[in-house]
């Protein structure tokens, strides 16, 4: 009787042990091989992807794109890093037996360095209004065109026109009348501009025109929809520059005061930012501490990947992307 009871106890212990082992193996296989999905990451290699916020923080080195990472299903927080670029934080969800795709658009950290000289920039195209003797009307021509070929005609006479031109567009202001000229597919649009424009520059695309007026220190923008916006920016035309992707870079200044009752310290700080006409938004550009820019001139490369800033003492090159 005792032997029979002991045998049953041994069998029960073995069954329990077997269940524990089977459960452990099943849990291991579930966690390691079954309860999993894939994160497929695309980006400019090499970069690292760090999973954090869980019990175990994991770091994956990605040398090829796409980079396949297998992990347990569920919501994850990741931090993607690339040397010399700004880190990217993302919330993702890895599906069971499925694939979550993620594209990383790394932004280069602006790198500021001193250079010896400004780049050589092609001068803006110059235009003028002349009278066409044959057609008996005025026409817009390039100043350097000996044949004086007409870009566009004006049936209504212009009295005292000012022409602000570029490779792709021109703005003609004559008193209270103004015309926007598309030079790639020559046509003119009448504009309702009440501001007395004194100077301005076109973006390389010909979509946007930044200008100043005779009676205000602010910069104004004429966008591709012919909407005019007054910017919260007071500076000279020489202190702004367009890049090829229609970002308007500028250097602003602000006065910061600090101190106690007996003594106050004031500091004049300069900062670099850019404005996007497409969404009417301003974006700061982070520079290393201690850089104080007091510009006399800003020049943008045609490629848009760098701008040059000339101060009283130095010339800086800022690589943007």
pLDDT tens for 136-180 read 999 999 999 999 999 999 888 888 899 999 989 999 998 888 999
Is residue 23 assigned to a domain? no
Q: Which residue would you say has higher pLDDT here, 281 or 21?
A: 281
Quote the CA–CA distance of 237 and 92 in Å, as a whole number. Answer: 44
CATH assignment of the domain containing 175 = 2.120.10
Model confidence at 270: pLDDT above 70: no
CATH assignment of the domain containing 89 = 2.60.40.1120
The range of the structural domain enclosing residue 151 comes to 114-319
Last residue of a domain, one of 76, 108, 140: 108
Is residue 24 assigned to a domain? no
Q: Which residue would you say has higher pLDDT here, 211 or 17?
A: 211
269 & 136 share domain: yes
Confidence of residue 226 (pLDDT cuts 50, 70, 90): very high
129 & 64 share domain: no
Q: Which residues of 204-222 are buried (b: 16+ CB within 10 A; e: fewer)?
A: bbbbbbbbbbeeeeebbbb
Identify the pLDDT of residue 47.
93
Sign of the alpha-carbon torsion through 247, 303, 301, 271: positive
- Beta strands 306-311 and 240-242: pairing type? unpaired
Provide the number of structural domains found in the chain. Answer: 2
- Beta strands 36-42 and 99-103: pairing type? parallel
130 & 212 share domain: yes
Model confidence at 266: pLDDT above 80: no
Instruction: Name residue, tokens 């309702």.
Output: 192
145 & 208 share domain: yes
3-state DSSP assignment of residue 301: coil
pTM of the predicted structure, to 2 decimals = 0.64
Is residue 149 assigned to a domain? yes
190 & 51 share domain: no
Is residue 8 assigned to a domain? no
Is residue 299 assigned to a domain? yes
- Beta strands 295-300 and 306-311: pairing type? antiparallel
Q: Which residues contact 170 (CB under 8 A, 6 or more apart)?
A: 127, 140, 163, 164, 180, 181, 183
Identify the pLDDT of residue 254.
59
Sign of the alpha-carbon torsion through 292, 298, 299, 301: positive
If you average pLDDT over residues 57-73, what whole number do you get? Answer: 88
Q: Which residue would you say has higher pLDDT here, 292 or 90?
A: 90
295 & 312 share domain: yes
Phi-psi region of 112 (alpha: psi -120 to 50; beta: other; left: phi over 0): beta
3-state DSSP assignment of residue 276: strand
């Amino acid at each position: 009787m005792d032997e029979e009871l002991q045998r049953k106890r041994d069998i029960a212990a073995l069954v329990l042990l077997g269940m524990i082992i089977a459960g452990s193996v099943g849990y291991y296989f579930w966690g390691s091989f079954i309860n999993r999905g894939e994160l497929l990451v695309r980006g400019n290699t090499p970069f690292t992807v760090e999973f954090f916020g869980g019990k175990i923080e994991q770091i994956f080195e990605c040398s090829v794109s796409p980079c396949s990472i297998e992990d347990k299903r569920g919501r994850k927080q990741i931090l993607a890093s690339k040397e010399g670029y700004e880190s990217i934080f993302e919330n993702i969800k890895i599906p069971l037996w499925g694939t979550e795709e993620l594209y990383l658009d790394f932004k280069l950290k602006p790198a500021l360095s001193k250079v010896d000289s400004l780049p050589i920039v092609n001068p803006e195209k110059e235009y003028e209004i002349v009278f066409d003797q044959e057609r008996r009307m005025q026409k817009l021509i390039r100043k350097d065109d000996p044949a004086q070929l007409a870009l566009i005609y004006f049936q209504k006479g212009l009295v005292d026109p000012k022409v602000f031109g570029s490779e792709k567009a021109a703005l003609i202001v004559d008193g209270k009348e103004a015309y926007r000229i598309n030079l790639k597919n020559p046509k003119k649009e009448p504009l309702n501009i009440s501001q007395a424009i004194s100077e301005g520059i076109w973006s390389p695309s010909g979509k946007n025109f930044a200008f100043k007026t005779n009676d205000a220190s602010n910069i104004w923008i004429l966008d591709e929809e012919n909407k005019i916006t007054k910017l919260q920016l007071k500076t000279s035309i020489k202190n702004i520059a367009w890049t090829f992707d229609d970002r308007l870079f500028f250097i602003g200044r602000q006065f910061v005061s600090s101190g106690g009752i007996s003594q106050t310290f004031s500091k004049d700080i300069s900062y670099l930012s850019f404005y996007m006409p497409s969404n009417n938004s301003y974006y700061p550009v982070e520079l290393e501490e201690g850089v104080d820019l007091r510009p006399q001139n800003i020049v943008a490369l045609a490629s848009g990947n760098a701008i040059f800033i000339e101060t009283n003492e130095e010339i800086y090159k800022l690589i943007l992307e």
